[in-house]
Amino acid sequence: VQLVESGGGLVQAGGSLRLSCGASGSILDDYAIGWFRQAPGKAREGVSCISHSDGSTYYAESVKGRFTISSDNAENTVYLQMNKLKPEDTGVYYCAPVRILIVGGRTTWHPIDQHWGQGTQVTVSS
């Protein structure tokens, strides 16, 4: 399983970026894909994910209404469109195959293993 993140950069608050997660093989057919981010000194957190079975999408509360995840299976790529960026969105963004858990109306997503790619740096200036 190989995923490669790209599209990060430096942007002013209020700006936009689109991240790409390029996949190899049939991973998008076999797994849900999640985006995670890690800010300096903080734990990695889930940002968004998309189900491979029905295309359902899920978002962390902090990004709802600003970020949109989508999948282009023909291009073998999952995108994360990030609008109205805030300084607190700064971090290294990673994508990974995940398992989606829905318990008591709460949805979480968890990487299937602990193998992470290089990630892509997003820096939002104030």
What pLDDT sits at residue 111? 94
Amino acid symbol at 89: D
Residue 125 φ/ψ, nearest 5 degrees: -90, 150
The predicted structure's pLDDT at residue 26: 85
CA distance 52 to 15: 29
Residue in the structure block whose two tokens are 């399983």: 1
Hey, how many other C-beta atoms are within 10 angstroms of the C-beta on 17?
20
Token pair in block for residue 75: 């291009």
Give the pLDDT score at 1. 62
pLDDT (tens digit per residue) in 22-47? 998 888 889 999 999 999 999 999 99
Dump pLDDT digits (tens) for 74-123.
999 999 999 999 999 999 999 999 999 999 989 999 999 888 999 999 99
User: 7: how many CB neighbours lie within 10 A of its CB?
Assistant: 16
Residues paired with residue 99 on neighbouring β-strands, in sequence order: 110
The CA-to-CA distance between both ends of the chain, in Å, stands at 37
How far, CA to CA in Å, does 24 sit from each of 27, 46, 111? 7, 22, 17
